Amino acid sequence: MKKIMALFVFLCILMAQAVVFAAENTNTSNSAPVNTVKRWILINIPARSLRLYEDNNCVAMYPVGVGRIETKTPAGFYKIVEKIENPTWVDPGDTSVAISSGPDNPLGYRWLGIGGNYGIHGTNKPSSVGHYVSNGCVRMVEADVEKLFDKVDVGTEVQIMYNRLVIDKTQDGRVAYYIYPDGYNMQNLTVDFVKQGLAGYGIADFVSDDYVAKSIEASNGLPNFVAAPVNLMYNGKKLDFKAVNYQNLTYVPVENLAKTLNTAVKVENNNATTTKGSAAVSLFSKKPYIRLTDISNIFDVNFTLNKNYTVATLTPITANAVQPVEINEVADEKDKQDTTVKQDTVKQNNVNVPKRENSLNAEKELYKSVDTKIKPEQKTIDFEKSVVDNNETDKMELVTVK
C-alpha cells in the first residue's frame, strides 16, 4: 500500500511540473507581442479633413463634411464611445419616424459615436462630403468610413480642431503650409502668425511677407512649398538654429553660427568677413546667410551631411583635413563663384496664387475612394441625429500639425 501511495505522489509531482513547464513555455514562446502603437483621429474643420495617426505618423487621410455655420461641429477632445454597423436613423423632430439601414439612410452603413448626438458616419449623399453641410456630425464617403471603422476601437481618442493654418513636411523634407477658408468666421490669420509657425521649422526667412499675405488672401488650401530645414550638430549636440536647403543649395545663418563658434564676424557689401577670410552672403528676409560649402572659408569648422540632407555635422578643422563638398552643389559651384549675390535671391512679390472653390480638389487623388454601396441619390435627405449646442464642448484647440 505504501508503494502505491508513493507512486501516486510521484505521478502527481510529475504532472504538476508538466503544467508549470507548459505555462512557462506558453508565456515565453507563444505569447503575441503587445501592440503599443497608439491610434488616434485628428479632424480639422477648415481643411474638412480627417487624419488617422499611429503615434505621431499619419497613416491615412480622408475628406469629410462638417457642420453648417448655424450647427457647427464643436472643437474639442473626445473618444469613440460606440461603434454601430447598419445604424437606424431616427428623426429628431419626430421619433416615430425612423429609417433602417439601407440606401436611404442619412447615416450610411457605419456610425462611430463620440458622445451625445455627435458622431463620425457615412452618408447617402456622397457629394456633400468636403462641404459645410451637416447638423454638427462628421460625414465621410461610405468606403472611407468603413475602412476607418475597421481600424479603430471604442476608446480611440478623437481631436477636433479649428485651424486654418496647417504646416506639413513633404516626403523630400520640404516644409509646406496650407491656408484654408474661414468657414465659421472665427479665426483671422496674419502674416506674423503664419511666419511664427514657419519659424518653428527654421525656414521663416525663406518666404516673403508679401507671398504670405497673398496666400492668406487666397485661402485656397493649396500647398505653399518653402524650403527644407537641416539640423546642425556641433560637439555632439543639436544647435538651436537650423541650416536651410533652398533651391538645392544649403544656407547657414551667419550671425547664429558666429555666436556659437565665438567668432567675430563683419557683414557688409554682400560679404561676411572674419580674421580667417570672407564668404559671399545671401540675404533672406534681410538676414545674412552663407552657403554651407563656404563655412570653412571664415570659420574653423568643416561639415558632413547625412545621405538625406537632413543633418549637417560640424567638426573643428584639424591639420591636413580635407574640406568636404556638398554633393548637390558640385555641378554649379564653379559657375556661381563670380556671381554677385543679390538680396532675396528669389523674389516672391509677383505671386500668382491659384484659386479654387473647393479646397479639397488638389488632394482628390490622395482622397480618392470608390463608393460601391450607395445607390444614386433619389431624395434630397439632409437629416442627421439632432445636435444640441453645448458651450462646454465648443472649445477650440488651435494646433499646428507637423
Query: Cβ–Cβ contacts within 10 Å for residue 276, how many?
Result: 14
Q: Is 58 designated active site?
A: no
Q: Is 137 designated active site?
A: yes
Distance CA 182, CA 396 (A): 14
CA 230-231-234 angle, to 5 degrees, is: 135
Query: CA torsion sign, 376 to 381 to 386 to 388?
Result: positive
Amino acid (1-letter code) at residue 95: T
Grid cell 458651450 in the structure block, residue: 391
Q: List active site positions.
A: 121, 137
